[in-house]
Structure 1
Amino acid sequence: MKRTILNLKTFAAVILTAGLMTACSSDDDTVVPTDPDTEEPDTEEPVEEESRWITVAGAKMGDEPGDGNGGTLIYAVTSEEAKDPTVSIDPFENGFIAPSNRTARLQSSEDGNTIFNISYAGDTGGNYTKYTVEGGQTFTPSGSEVSIAPYVGTAPRWIKLFDGDQTGAAVYVSNENEFDENDNYTRTEATIGVVTLDLVNSSIIEFQEHSVPLSAEEEAEGYYISRIDMPTLNAAGDKLYIGARLSKVDPATAESDSDYDKLGSKTIILDYPSLMNPTVITSTVGHGDTNGYRSINAFEYNGSVYQANQNDPEGSHILKIDADNEYDDTYDFNLDDALGVEGAYVLAWRPAANGKAVLAYRHNGSEIGLAGAQGFFALVDLNAQTAVKIEDIPYDPDFYLFQYQGFVVEGTEIYLTQGAVGQNGNIYVVDTETGAVTKGAELVNATGSHFIGVF
């Protein structure tokens, strides 16, 4: 989508041309030559300003403020409108209902012209649909629907892979405790399923299931992989990284054990596109989970994959997996240290191509609001390993980011939504090079509802 803007020189040329046409139309058809010394110099070509759709997503209240279980509504504006504080956007009143029994799991094409959705839970859970963005509440269905529920269930964890909007991947894990002939606990089996989805042709590409054990020592102590999410392609495009959460049972009773030492952060690696040959790698830097929650948790940058972790006793880290498909344990980016807080927890994040990112987080000092712990945004530099709280975005005890899903990257700028539960907010645009923050369009909220991002 392009918008043509006439600059002053072009406008002058148009007026001059009109004047010359009038001068050349006398009754005796005499053509009056123009003095070369008074000719207007060549004008510049019309300036074409790039624009794209920015789709705002809101999660409607179900039973409790901030639960997002009342459905998801989306509304699209241009990037110019998104940056304009005089524009008002009300997705809850005027938006398109994205099909989903609970909060929809949304992704967008890189240019913003297509929205991909897989509905979450209920009788339509697992249904994949895509829409052409036409502006406002107009999202036109495109292609056919396909269900991934037979492969990964009705509440799938799925992500669009960064391969030119060609492929999505969804995952699940199931667990079963195992016992010996004397009924003594031996280990917990973790069976993962992974399906890849052709986003263009709405079809299943590949599906595989695997048993993914930990080390014999870890399993004897009751550890197992209990949740997986956020599949990410490596730079070479031949490995798929899957984030993992570990849980533990008490081997003496086989009952859940919540008081245990965190192991090193782990990632499952599969060959791609075959989805075969699972292996597990372990960080010695981070000791939290790597599965994230609602937003993409790992990104390829400059040949490596950078991955956030959560529930780390030393605060969230940004971890680095290099081209050799192993954690780089010389890269120690601790967000407690960088932000000067305790208990940093990455809720969502997104880097631009320059290695600078906007990161949503909470920490032990967050106030407890209507829906949970208060959230903040920081500007992060992956190369310098620095993080600075963005002060030009207003914060409220009810500013809840646990369900946050989407950022839009346009060059070095990153768009985000800000608005406390049940309160109006705004789009903000962060220039990752300078740190400058632009306050954009107003976001009109509804009782108990909240904004979950832009796409």
Structure 2
Amino acid sequence: MFKSTRNIFSKTLIAGVLLASFSCDEESGSDNKPDDSSDRLFTIAFADGSGSPSATYVQSHSDLSAETNITFKGFGFEVPSTRTARLFTSSDGNTMYSLDYGGGSIYKFENNGGQDYLQVDKTNIEFAMGTAYPRWTRLNDDNAMLHSIATEQVFDETSGDYVYTKAIARLLLVDLEDLGMSTNVEFEIPRSVADEATGDFVFRIDAPVVSGDKIYYGMGKRGVDPANPDETADAAYNTVETLVLDFPSLENPTILSTDMAGGATNGYRTTVAYSDEKDDVYQIITVPDNTKDTYILKITNGTYDESFDFNLSEKLGVNTISNGWFYVGDGIGYVPYANSDLGGTSDAVWSVARVDLYNGSAVKLNTPENLWLQQYQNSVAVDDKFYMALAPLAEEGFIYEFDISSESADALTPAAAIVSAADSYYIGIY
């Protein structure tokens, strides 16, 4: 019998659950289709400093053509942030939201163009989440999810021996209209058969996506030495696993698993999973090292479709590591990836691939060399064009316009010029 526990991360318990209604019909995957508005405001985000306390600046433009030059030298709105801000915008670009990671607050800004961002709302979420370091993900224009994990070591009550580490998830549904907090749940993540065998535990969840009446959460894991449980180790990642809950109630947590690949499903700062127009979920796998291949997996009706075999490393002919990707509709997506034959995700060995999931193809695009995209957060598709801000380290670059309909490796055009600097980088277009 084991009841004794030791806290690794502090957490705050909240009594009660606040319920809110939510229309599941809004989650059809249609948000992934390119916008067709010619007047859309694009927010360009820039991080100054690659360390944890890097400042985040934004500015917006309605024109990303070659006639536009973008610089953050003496221009740009500094987003309130303890560490690099976690940003997203409304579909039309007129509203920006930010999580102050480490500060425990979420913000809502009205985008008036240029560096004019007007704060219209702010909510402290530290007490509700039990931490100032949650993560969050936009679900659609109405709602976002806040999420965090606290872990506890469990010891045998008699012998005092380490037994396992349990992961306690906290989830909070946010109403983006007024940054209100609605459904708030806390639960222990079920231990999978694979984790019981290896002793691995979930230390992070992120990148949720809604399909039908389910929400799918990616998970990152760590290993532990039972003889020295305070020292963590690399997870085995013999399988791929996803946390699944009913939505919007956030009840009935279960684990979805497949052994056709191995790796994490939580990503880093780039979106990992999308629901397409057919309500299938596609998620990219982050591999721990270059001993495993990068896969894009498919979930249909709550089950991994093991007949869908999309091995990105095999299709590109190099070992790859990716933190996420961008789905633009009709099975087409763009994947930033590091060539792990040349280095790791912290090195400037990144490229971008265009993938066609419905036809099973992938092509490396002729993007600039010396790219570092580990902390790249977001890109957008508008009028059948896809946009990314790409600048080699400490060099000038461009906002590139990709032709979504073309399979050519050269189907990208440099548009607006962007100015970079040493130890600074563009983290996305929103």
Coarse TM-score class (shorter-chain normalised): 0.7 to 0.9
More deviation, 245-254/289-298: 245-254
Equivalents in 1 of 2:86, 2:235: separation in Å? 32
Structure 1 unaligned segments of length 5 or more: list them.
1-47
Determine whether 1:207 maps to 2:184. yes
Structure 2 partner of 1:405: 377
Q: Of 23, 35, 55, which residue of structure 2 is paired with 1:71?
A: 55
Provide Cα deviations, 1:278-331, integer angstroms capped at 9, x if missing partner: 111112222100000011110001211111110154221111111x21111111
| 1:217 CA displacement | 6.4
Equivalents in 2 of 1:91, 1:346: separation in Å? 28
| 1:260 CA displacement | 5.7
Q: Of 123, 138, 146, which residue of structure 2 is paired with 1:146?
A: 123
Determine whether 1:54 maps to 2:28. no
Whether the 8 Å CA contact 2:171–2:186 is kept in 1: the answer is yes
Structure 1 partner of 2:269: 294
Structure 1 partner of 2:88: 107
C-alpha spacing 1:128/1:257, structure 2 compared with 1 (3 Å): closer
Which residues in structure 2 correspond to 1:17-416 (within 5 Å)?
Answer: 50-61=38-49, 66-67=50-51, 69-78=53-62, 81-82=63-64, 84-121=65-102, 125-142=103-120, 144-152=121-129, 153-162=131-140, 165-180=141-156, 181-215=158-192, 218-219=195-196, 221-234=198-211, 236=212, 238-256=213-231, 258=233, 261-301=236-276, 302-311=278-287, 313-322=291-300, 324-342=301-319, 344-366=320-342, 372-391=347-366, 393-396=367-370, 399-416=371-388
| 1:156 CA displacement | 1.6
Equivalents in 2 of 1:93, 1:260: separation in Å? 44
Equivalents in 2 of 1:217, 1:448: separation in Å? 40
C-alpha spacing 1:366/1:274, structure 2 compared with 1 (3 Å): same
- Relative contact order, CA 8 A, sep 6+: which one is greater? 2
- Give 1:327's aligned amino acid: Y
Corresponding residue pairs, total: 387
| 1:365 CA displacement | 2.8
C-alpha spacing 1:368/1:190, structure 2 compared with 1 (3 Å): closer
Whether the 8 Å CA contact 1:359–1:377 is kept in 2: the answer is yes
| 1:49 CA displacement | 7.7
| 1:68 CA displacement | 6.3
Query: Secondary structure of the residue that 1:189 maps to in structure 2?
Result: strand
Query: Secondary structure of the residue that 1:286 maps to in structure 2?
Result: coil
Query: Secondary structure of the residue that 2:147 maps to in structure 1?
Result: strand
Query: Secondary structure of the residue that 2:112 maps to in structure 1?
Result: strand
Equivalents in 1 of 2:37, 2:89: separation in Å? 22
Instruction: Pick the structure with more helix per residue.
Output: 1
TM-score when scaled to structure 2? 0.85
Taking only aligned residues, the RMSD between alpha carbons, in angstroms, comes to: 2.0
Equivalents in 1 of 2:52, 2:417: separation in Å? 20
- Give 1:129's aligned amino acid: Y
TM-score when scaled to structure 1? 0.81
Whether the 8 Å CA contact 2:166–2:188 is kept in 1: the answer is yes
Provide Cα deviations, 1:353-383, integer angstroms capped at 9, x if missing partner: 22211110002233579x5342111111111
Query: Secondary structure of the residue that 1:417 maps to in structure 2?
Result: strand
Structure 2 unaligned segments of length 5 or more: list them.
1-35
C-alpha spacing 1:367/1:281, structure 2 compared with 1 (3 Å): closer
Whether the 8 Å CA contact 1:316–1:334 is kept in 2: the answer is yes
- Give 1:278's aligned amino acid: P
